[in-house]
Structure 1
Amino acid sequence: MNNNIIIFGYGTGISRALAYRFGKEGYAVGLVARNAEKLEQATLELNTHNIEAYSFSSDLSNIENIPELIKRIKKQFGEIKNIHWNAFHEIEGNLLTTNPLDLTKSFHIRVSSYIATVQACLDDLKRNQGSILSTNGVFSLDLVGIDFVAKEYSSLAIAAAAQYKTTNLLAHTLADSDVYVSQVIVNGFVDGTPGAEDKAYTVHPETIAEQFWHLQQHKKETTVLCGKTIKVA
């Protein structure tokens, strides 16, 4: 089979744009999310645009099910050559109002499930000199100007920061292997998503997908910023 990329946490924003961007370059695409019906619709839509796509319904918060999920994906693709981590738990609010259990769920998806998935795919990724590509947001960065804005989104920011650190550590851990690790930090609300409504500045999903494609082609940078909502020194 030709090159492929498995998108963990498929939705209608960044991951959809990425599926089209990589798909038009000849990549077969695997879509992973909880809603089987929506996944099937997304797969059919991609197929109508001559993109080879397959869907795999799974709740990524159930870590014990990840090895079986990877087996299902490998049964279809043979080997997993690249992965895109786009999964997250919806969470809002500041530290004084957030239910701590929601913080646990958010961390669990962004870090624990992420690591479990990488571990399950790692042998394939090494054999194929593959990539681990991760989506994150600007609130993950530890800068005073960002924290001033992020305080009202601090529940999200904490888990995002943990995911940011996880990706950087994966990059260092795999530096002597042929596996490329990188992340795009989205500096803005994603155009077309509910959170972007009435916002002064948004980032188009296609722009973010193009950034991921650039990283995949050149395999040099570990972290890149996409968007200009908050000034980052």
Structure 2
Amino acid sequence: MTLAIFGYGPGLGRGVAHRFGRAGFPVAVVGRDAERAAAHVRDLEEHGIRARPFTADVTDEQRFPALVEEIENQLGPIRVALHAAAADMSVRSAATLTTTTAQLAFPLALKLYSPMLMARTLIPRFRDEGTLLFTSGASEQHPAAYLANVGIALAAQRGYIRQLALELRDTPVNVGLLNIGSLIEGSAAQRIVDAHPEAIPPGLELTRISGAELGEHAWRLHTERELVELDAGFPA
């Protein structure tokens, strides 16, 4: 029973990997950078978690089926898959009114088409049961002009996941969406914001959430089938 994290990062990915690793899951660390993926695996192995690195772009439709084969050949059948890939702040559009279809291309590829690809690839391969987990950000529930294109893509993803969960409700496949409303400690986004606070609109205060806390939320989505969505890090 393998956990595959597509778009592994040092915040969310690490937190989820440690939580599932403690439960006996080996972890497939999937990222675009081979050196970083190998470093993440070393970190997990130092904590007694079996893991393997895999290099891939999760938006690559031609590569994805072969990637899944590689993971299962090395670690065993995937039982839980987390789509954790997030858009870099450099892709954001400046305002909703000026957002173009070109500016939507990458966010949609990353947060809608790639999750759809993961679901289409894995659902037929699940044996007795399986869990598909997805992630979203604050700009879907709380629109922000400076994240217009990302928020639009996240809204499309949410619509897809809600429909998918409805259609799979009476099957052995579990679907969960983790909505994250804070900066993740240790993440690339957190480091960018700390280094360039001017990237955030004046007056906007971003709270922080740990990867460990998100790992617990992901575990709940896996084990409590009645949960389809879970909010974490949003203001009360």
The TM-score, its normalising length taken from structure 2, stands at 0.87
The separation in 2 between residues aligned to 1:97 and 1:53, in whole angstroms, is 44
Structure 1 unmatched ranges of 5 or more: none
The runs of 5 or more residues in structure 2 that have no matched partner are 198-204
**Residue in 2 that maps onto 1:77:** 75
> Displacement of 1:98 after TM fit?
4.7
Which string of whole-angstrom CA distances, capped at 9 and with x for unpartnered residues, describes residues 132-158 of structure 1?
Answer: 0111113223xxxx23xx122111101
SS in 1 for 2:153: helix
* Aligned: 1:213 with 2:207: no
Closer, same or farther in 2 for the Cα pair 1:48/1:182, shift >3 Å?
A: same
Cα contact 1:189–1:195 (8 A) shared by 2: no
Looking at structure 2, the residues matched to 195 and 185 of structure 1 have their Cα atoms a distance apart, in angstroms, of: 21
The residue aligned with 2:163 is: 169
CA distance in structure 2 between the aligned counterparts of 1:87 and 1:154, rounded to whole angstroms: 18
Instruction: For 1:140 and 1:200, locate their aligned partners in 2 and report how far apart those are by CA, in whole Å.
Output: 16
Separation in 2, partners of 1:214, 1:20: 14
Q: Which moved more, 1:6-15 or 1:76-85?
A: 76-85
1:188 deviation in Å? 1.9
The Cα of 1:63 is off from its aligned counterpart by 1.0
Q: 1:159 to 1:200 in 2, by over 3 A?
A: closer
* Aligned 8 A contact 2:37 2:54 in 1: yes
> Which residue matches 1:60?
58
Distance 1:18 1:56 in 2: 17
1:159 partnered with 2:153? yes
Deviates more, 1:213-222 or 1:33-42: 213-222
Segment drifting more, 71-80 vs 52-61: 71-80
* Residue 96 to residue 24, structure 1, CA distance change in 2 (3 Å): same
- Larger mean Cα displacement after TM superposition, 40-49 or 84-93: 84-93
Moved runs in structure 1, 4+ residues, more than 6 A? none
Q: What is the RMSD computed on CA atoms of the aligned residues? A: 1.8
Q: Report sequence identity in percent.
A: 26
TM-superposed deviation, 1:66? 0.9
2:103 is aligned to 102
SS at match of 1:82: strand
Q: Partners of 1:200 and 1:160 in 2: how far apart?
A: 19
Look up the match of 1:194. Answer: 191
C-alpha distance in 2 between matches for 1:195 and 1:162: 26
Tell me if the contact between 1:81 and 1:129 (Cα under 8 Å) persists in the aligned partners: yes
Equivalences for 1:173-188 in 2 at 5 Å? 173-188=167-182
Please tell me whether the aligned partners of residues 140 and 162 of structure 1 are also in contact (alpha carbons under 8 angstroms): no
The amino acid of 2:111's aligned partner reads R
Post-superposition offset of 1:117:
1.6
Residue 96 of structure 1 and its aligned partner are, at CA, apart by 4.5
- The corresponding residue for 2:140 is 140
Residues 82 and 134 of structure 2 are in contact (CA less than 8 Å); yes or no, is this contact kept in structure 1? yes
Tell whether the 8 Å contact from 2:130 to 2:173 is kept in structure 1 after alignment.
yes
Counterpart code for 1:139: S
Cα drift, residue 101 of structure 1:
2.2
The separation in 1 between residues aligned to 2:206 and 2:52, in whole angstroms, is 36
Question: What number of residue pairs does the alignment pair up?
Answer: 221
Letter in 2 for 1:89: A
